[in-house]
Amino acid sequence: MRIVLLIGSHPRHLFVAREVLATGMVTGIIMETREHMLPTPPVGIDDDLKALFMRHFADRNAAEEKAFGLSNKLNFDSSMIKVTPQTLNTPKVCEFLDMQKPDLALVYGVHKLDDETLSHVRGKFWNIHGGLSPWYRGVITLFWPSYMLEPQATGMTVHEVTSAIDGGPIIHQVAASLIKGDGIHDLACRAVANIAGDMQTLTNMLAEGAINPPTIQPTSGKIWRARDWRPEHLELVYELYENRIVDHYLNGRFKRWTPNLIRQF
């Protein structure tokens, strides 16, 4: 089976990519250069909020370094092209996909693919989404579960790629286990590590024709957009709950419910 990876450049993306590379089935990689891991605070916010912003992203950087390492190197000697968000949906990418003829195009951490790009994959097209669909579709969806005081809904979804944002039929899901003392980024990293650990089995099952049919998402859920997030949301996480939302959940402070995950194994 021939796999093409379309991946972002952040540590979590490359960690998952290395797990898929270990199958020996990857023939090509399209890597999108993502934004800096330590963004600049927005103009116009006060000093206290600026400090929270900087803490949040510094903590994310430290958590990903601990969980995944920060190397941007992949041990891959075959075909690889690098793109930006502006050059993702271009003839260069379409021609690469035509040349590769993948049995599986596997997406994680790139921006939305347009219909023209989608049409150049004749095989399976899967997306690894950092969030549990349909409850958490869209972006920043490893942050929102904690903000909504339901950290147990922090997880990952593998689904078929369609023109709907994270709305394709679901193949496989994982949720992060909750461990006392977890901060928001610890939880997010564990969700990524969990799906990475399942990717070799999933791709081998696909190669063997053993994948169960995907499940149509039962509801439209909610699509979280970039404009929904503001630095002020950090005040709830770090000041009101002192980044101990997992502990509060485990201690029974928040309403409990368990996501109904779709699993292949």
The two three-digit tokens of residue 209, written as one number: 């024709």
How would you label 193-225 residue by residue, b for 16+ Cβ within 10 Å and e otherwise?
A: bbbbebbbebbebbbeeebeebeebeeebbbbe
3 state SS of 233: helix
Q: Burial level of 120, CB count in 10 A (0-12/13-18/19+)?
A: buried
What pLDDT band is residue 74 in, cutting at 50, 70 and 90?
Answer: confident
**pLDDT tens for each residue of 160-203:** 999 889 999 999 999 999 999 999 999 999 999 999 999 999 99
The two three-digit tokens of residue 112, written as one number: 């939305």
Q: Which domains does the chain have, with CATH numbers?
A: 3-250 (3.40.50.12230)
**pLDDT tens for each residue of 75-132:** 887 899 999 999 999 999 999 999 999 999 999 999 999 999 999 999 999 999 999 9
How far apart are alpha carbons 168 and 121 in whole angstroms?
16
User: What per-residue confidence (pLDDT) applies to 134?
Assistant: 95
What pLDDT band is residue 148 in, cutting at 50, 70 and 90?
Answer: very high
The two three-digit tokens of residue 120, written as one number: 């150049």
Verdict on whether the full-model pTM lies above 0.85:
yes
Q: H or E segment at 160?
A: strand 155-160
CA 55-86-107 angle, 5° bins: 75
Report the DSSP pairing between strands 155-160 and 137-138.
unpaired
